[in-house]
Protein backbone atom coordinates (compact mmCIF):
# COMPACT_ATOMS: atom_id res chain seq x y z
CA UNK A 1 0.00 0.00 0.00
CA UNK A 2 1.32 3.47 -0.85
CA UNK A 3 2.07 5.98 1.88
CA UNK A 4 -0.74 8.18 0.57
CA UNK A 5 -3.24 5.30 0.74
CA UNK A 6 -2.05 4.43 4.25
CA UNK A 7 -2.51 8.04 5.39
CA UNK A 8 -6.00 8.20 3.86
CA UNK A 9 -7.01 4.91 5.47
CA UNK A 10 -5.72 5.85 8.93
CA UNK A 11 -7.34 9.29 8.88
CA UNK A 12 -10.65 7.85 7.68
CA UNK A 13 -10.69 5.15 10.35
CA UNK A 14 -9.63 7.48 13.17
CA UNK A 15 -11.67 10.60 12.40
CA UNK A 16 -14.55 9.59 10.07
CA UNK A 17 -14.10 12.79 8.07
CA UNK A 18 -16.82 14.54 6.10
CA UNK A 19 -14.12 15.74 3.70
CA UNK A 20 -10.61 14.46 3.22
CA UNK A 21 -7.92 15.31 0.72
CA UNK A 22 -4.39 13.92 0.98
CA UNK A 23 -2.16 15.59 -1.60
CA UNK A 24 1.33 14.38 -2.49
CA UNK A 25 3.40 17.58 -2.73
CA UNK A 26 6.80 15.87 -2.98
CA UNK A 27 7.40 17.24 -6.48
CA UNK A 28 7.12 20.80 -5.14
CA UNK A 29 10.23 20.24 -3.03
CA UNK A 30 12.62 19.18 -5.79
CA UNK A 31 15.99 20.84 -5.30
CA UNK A 32 15.55 21.29 -1.55
CA UNK A 33 18.23 19.92 0.72
CA UNK A 34 17.67 17.54 3.63
CA UNK A 35 19.67 15.15 5.76
CA UNK A 36 19.76 11.51 4.72
CA UNK A 37 21.94 9.05 6.63
CA UNK A 38 23.69 12.00 8.29
CA UNK A 39 24.63 13.64 4.98
CA UNK A 40 23.04 16.60 3.24
CA UNK A 41 21.32 15.49 0.05
CA UNK A 42 19.46 17.35 -2.67
CA UNK A 43 15.91 16.05 -2.95
CA UNK A 44 14.84 15.13 -6.50
CA UNK A 45 11.09 15.52 -5.86
CA UNK A 46 10.15 11.88 -6.44
CA UNK A 47 8.42 9.49 -4.09
CA UNK A 48 6.07 10.07 -1.18
CA UNK A 49 7.84 12.31 1.29
CA UNK A 50 5.79 15.53 1.47
CA UNK A 51 2.01 15.60 1.95
CA UNK A 52 -0.76 18.10 2.61
CA UNK A 53 -3.74 16.81 4.60
CA UNK A 54 -7.02 18.69 4.35
CA UNK A 55 -9.60 17.20 6.67
CA UNK A 56 -13.01 18.21 8.00
CA UNK A 57 -14.18 15.93 10.79
CA UNK A 58 -16.66 16.10 13.68
CA UNK A 59 -13.89 14.73 15.92
CA UNK A 60 -12.17 18.13 15.72
CA UNK A 61 -15.11 20.04 17.22
CA UNK A 62 -14.05 21.68 20.47
CA UNK A 63 -10.35 21.04 19.83
CA UNK A 64 -7.81 23.83 19.42
CA UNK A 65 -5.75 24.01 16.25
CA UNK A 66 -2.74 22.66 18.14
CA UNK A 67 -4.77 19.74 19.54
CA UNK A 68 -5.96 18.89 16.02
CA UNK A 69 -2.40 18.94 14.67
CA UNK A 70 -1.17 16.80 17.55
CA UNK A 71 -3.94 14.25 16.96
CA UNK A 72 -3.03 13.88 13.28
CA UNK A 73 0.72 13.81 13.96
CA UNK A 74 0.29 11.19 16.68
CA UNK A 75 -1.76 9.01 14.36
CA UNK A 76 0.87 9.26 11.63
CA UNK A 77 3.95 8.86 13.86
CA UNK A 78 4.94 5.52 12.27
CA UNK A 79 4.95 7.12 8.80
CA UNK A 80 6.91 10.14 10.05
CA UNK A 81 9.50 7.85 11.63
CA UNK A 82 9.69 5.77 8.43
CA UNK A 83 10.66 8.65 6.16
CA UNK A 84 7.66 10.93 5.70
CA UNK A 85 9.57 14.20 5.69
CA UNK A 86 6.87 16.87 5.77
CA UNK A 87 3.20 16.99 6.65
CA UNK A 88 1.10 20.13 6.18
CA UNK A 89 -2.16 19.77 8.11
CA UNK A 90 -5.32 21.81 7.48
CA UNK A 91 -7.88 20.47 9.98
CA UNK A 92 -11.39 21.79 10.56
CA UNK A 93 -14.62 20.83 12.26
CA UNK A 94 -17.86 20.79 10.24
CA UNK A 95 -19.22 24.28 9.64
CA UNK A 96 -15.86 26.00 10.07
CA UNK A 97 -14.58 28.13 7.23
CA UNK A 98 -11.76 26.57 5.21
CA UNK A 99 -9.58 28.04 2.48
CA UNK A 100 -10.02 25.05 0.22
Digit-by-digit pLDDT tens for the chain (100 residues) are 899 999 999 999 999 999 999 999 875 644 444 556 666 655 444 567 889 999 999 999 999 999 999 999 999 999 999 878 889 999 999 999 999 8
Domain ranges, ordered by start, for the chain: 3-92
Q: What is the pTM for the complete model shown?
A: 0.80
Q: How far from 22 is each of 12, 35, 46, 60, 84, CA to CA, in Å? A: 11, 25, 16, 17, 13
- Protein fold of 3-92: GMP Synthetase; Chain A, domain 3 (3.30.300)
pLDDT at 28: 60
Amino acid sequence: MSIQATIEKKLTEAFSPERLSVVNESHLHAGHHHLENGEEQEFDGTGETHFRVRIVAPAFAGMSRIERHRAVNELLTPELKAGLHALAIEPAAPGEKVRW
